[in-house]
């Protein structure tokens, strides 16, 4: 089969198109014929060598959509449409940058849809990240205020739509003033230009602070985000758009405000409701949710897609279609 193999850590050129053996199934695993997959920022960091646990060469890709090729357990039928999300995919074992992948049953999400594969390919990780962050980690509720740090990312855009649909007031941030209109059109009630320190501007807007913060930039703005919450407010760090993993100076008693709460969401597809995945796809199909897909590439162009993602020019999700 054809695969985009990350041969080692480095620039996008380390991703090479190769012919490799089709995966061999283990007990409790499913073989999927991959039709499309989305690119994710974490895959860029892995390719750069920032994921110590990942051994090269590796077929990356933490998500995919396609059809069941083989399921010895009989849980799914050949040809049935499924998605696979995380669970070590593309890190502990070969993932979605290929024509086929073998994954554990626990991370397989069946669905029905007539949407094009290039649309479906954008959904799995976005669904997992947004649903897990908002519902599981932040436990958002109608009437609350939510600050989205990194609002122009594909996750930030989708989180805004879902939060608005659930009755929240949303404040989104962008480093680029030219993207303010884009965020307002996406549903944000307020938009702040982010220079790394927005807590004073936010407190001018909401003196008591916000109820919840979805931190997608990461440690570069985490301390400032903690100063944006009201007492008993929650900050959830989900993203690392800022490109840094480790905070060198952090004092919990000083950086977390009294009664403030800090959590992280790292993604666990096994804990997500598979019925919610179908509902999410239905919402995309009926137009309730706009995925904001930026560009679509072919499998042969994965290295080019990584270059584009790394340039930070994207205004939405990047998808690769087989």
What are 205-212's contacts with CB under 8 Å, separation 24+? 205/171, 206/145, 206/171, 209/233, 210/145, 210/146, 210/147, 210/171, 211/144, 211/145, 211/146, 212/138, 212/140, 212/144, 212/145, 212/146, 212/147, 212/236
Asked whether residue 256 falls in the same domain as residue 309, the answer is no
Q: Which residues of 177-212 are buried (b: 16+ CB within 10 A; e: fewer)?
A: eebbebbeebbbbbbbebeeebbebbeeebeebbbb
> Do 120 and 143 belong together in one domain?
no
Range of the domain at 156: 138-264
Using DSSP bridges, classify how beta strands 81-85 and 29-38 pair: parallel, antiparallel or unpaired: unpaired
Residues 95 and 172 in one domain: no
Q: Is 153 within the bounds of a domain? A: yes
| pTM, 2 dp | 0.83
Distance between CA 264 and CA 116 in Å, rounded?
33
Burial of 54 (0-12, 13-18, 19+ CB in 10 A): middle
One domain, residues 147 and 91: no
Q: Is residue 82 part of a domain?
A: yes
Residue written as token pair 């989708």:
158
Q: Are residue 28 and residue 83 in the same domain, yes or no?
A: yes
In angstroms, the CA 58 to CA 216 distance is: 26
Residue 216 lies in a domain: yes
Q: Position of tokens 């070590």?
A: 88
CATH no. for residue 292?
3.90.180.10
Q: Are residues 143 and 167 in the same domain?
A: yes
Residues 236 and 179 in one domain: yes
For residue 194, is it within any domain?
Answer: yes
Q: How many domains does the chain have?
A: 2
Hey, what are 152's tokens?
């122009």
Sign of CA dihedral 244, 250, 253, 254: negative
143: in domain: yes
Rounded Cα gap, residues 32 and 68, in angstroms:
5
294 in a structural domain: yes
Instruction: Indicate whether 272 belongs to any domain.
Output: no
Q: Is 272 exposed, middle or buried (0-12, 13-18, 19+ CB in 10 A)?
A: buried
The domain that holds 197 is classified in CATH as 3.40.50.720
Q: Hey, how many other C-beta atoms are within 10 angstroms of the C-beta on 141?
A: 11
Same domain? 47 vs 110:
yes
Instruction: Answer whether residue 215 is part of any domain.
Output: yes
36 lies in the same domain as 147: no
Q: What is the pLDDT along the chain (322 residues), one digit of tens a residue?
A: 999 999 999 999 999 999 999 999 999 999 999 999 999 988 999 999 999 899 999 999 999 999 999 999 999 999 999 999 999 999 999 999 999 999 999 999 999 999 999 999 999 999 999 988 999 899 999 999 999 999 998 889 999 999 998 999 999 999 999 999 999 999 999 999 999 999 999 999 999 999 999 999 988 999 999 999 999 999 999 977 766 667 788 888 888 999 999 999 987 766 677 888 998 999 999 998 888 899 999 999 999 999 999 998 887 899 999 9
């Amino acid at each position: 089969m054809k695969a985009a193999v990350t041969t080692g850590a480095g620039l996008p050129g380390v991703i090479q198109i190769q012919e490799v053996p089709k995966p061999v199934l283990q007990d409790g695993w499913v073989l999927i014929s991959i039709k499309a997959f989305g690119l994710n920022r974490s895959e860029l960091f892995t390719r750069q060598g920032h994921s110590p646990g990942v051994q090269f060469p590796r077929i990356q890709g933490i998500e995919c959509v396609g059809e069941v090729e083989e399921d010895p357990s009989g849980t799914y039928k050949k040809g049935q449409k499924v998605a696979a999300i995380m669970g070590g995919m593309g890190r502990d074992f070969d993932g979605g940058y290929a024509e086929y992948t073998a994954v554990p049953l626990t991370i397989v999400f069946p669905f029905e849809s007539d949407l094009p594969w290039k649309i479906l390919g954008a959904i799995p990780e976005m669904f997992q990240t947004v649903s897990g962050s908002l519902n599981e980690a932040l436990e958002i509720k109608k009437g609350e205020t939510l600050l989205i740090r990194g609002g122009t990312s594909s996750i930030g855009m989708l989180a805004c739509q879902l939060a608005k649909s659930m009755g929240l007031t949303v404040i989104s941030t962008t480093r680029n003033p030219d993207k303010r209109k884009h965020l307002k059109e996406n549903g944000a009630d307020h938009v702040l230009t982010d220079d790394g320190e927005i807590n004073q501007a936010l407190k001018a807007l909401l003196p008591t602070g916000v109820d919840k913060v979805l931190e997608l930039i990461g440690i570069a703005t985490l301390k400032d985000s903690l100063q944006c919450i009201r007492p008993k407010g929650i900050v959830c760090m989900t993203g690392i758009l800022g490109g840094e993993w480790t905070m060198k100076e952090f004092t919990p008693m000083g950086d977390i405000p009294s009664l403030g709460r800090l959590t992280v969401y790292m993604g666990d597809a096994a804990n997500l409701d598979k019925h919610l995945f179908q509902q999410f796809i239905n919402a995309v199909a009926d137009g309730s949710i706009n995925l904001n897909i930026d560009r679509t590439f072919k499998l042969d162009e994965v290295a080019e897609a990584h270059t584009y993602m790394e340039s930070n020019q994207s205004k939405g999700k990047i998808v690769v279609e087989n």
